Amino acid sequence: MSATILFLPLKALYFDEIRAGRKPEEFRLANDYWRKRLIGRRYDFVLLTRAYPRADDFEKQQLLPWRGYVLRTITHPHFGPGAVSVFAIDVSGERLPDCAIAALRSQSAGARSARACQC
């Protein structure tokens, strides 16, 4: 069985903040698109990417264990001047090694292999 991965492409600013440990949550607007992808779903991993890198460009990717989300109401310039409801996806977990990204992207290895990867 293959691992389930939530892919989250990010702007460089947010990717860098998460990688530096200064941004523990990534926000997605609570609309129908994201409701279908998050509510009632379970993922093994979250793959954050800095924009849309090549699959082998590990400097622009971070693989984290799935730690869930909470619904929040926030005000943020990215979503406009008013308060909005968002999914606050937990991205505070410890980053997994680059070899785990390669294993998952090849889909020849499951979630267990990605977690056990010792680069």
Query: What are 59-114's pLDDT values in tens digits?
Result: 999 999 999 999 999 999 999 999 999 999 999 989 999 899 888 877 644 555 55
Better pLDDT: 60 or 119: 60
The total number of structural domains that make up the chain: 1
Give the sign of the dihedral formed by CA 113, CA 7, CA 28, CA 32: negative
User: Which of 83, 95, 118 has the alpha carbon at shortest distance from 46?
Assistant: 95
User: Which of 104, 26, 92 has the alpha carbon at shortest distance from 65?
Assistant: 92
Give the sign of the dihedral formed by CA 15, CA 75, CA 78, CA 32: positive
Better pLDDT: 115 or 3: 3
**Two structure tokens written together for 13:** 């600013």
Q: Which domain holds residue 82?
A: 5-116
49 Cβ neighbours under 8 A, 6+ residues apart: 7, 8, 9, 10, 15, 60, 61, 62
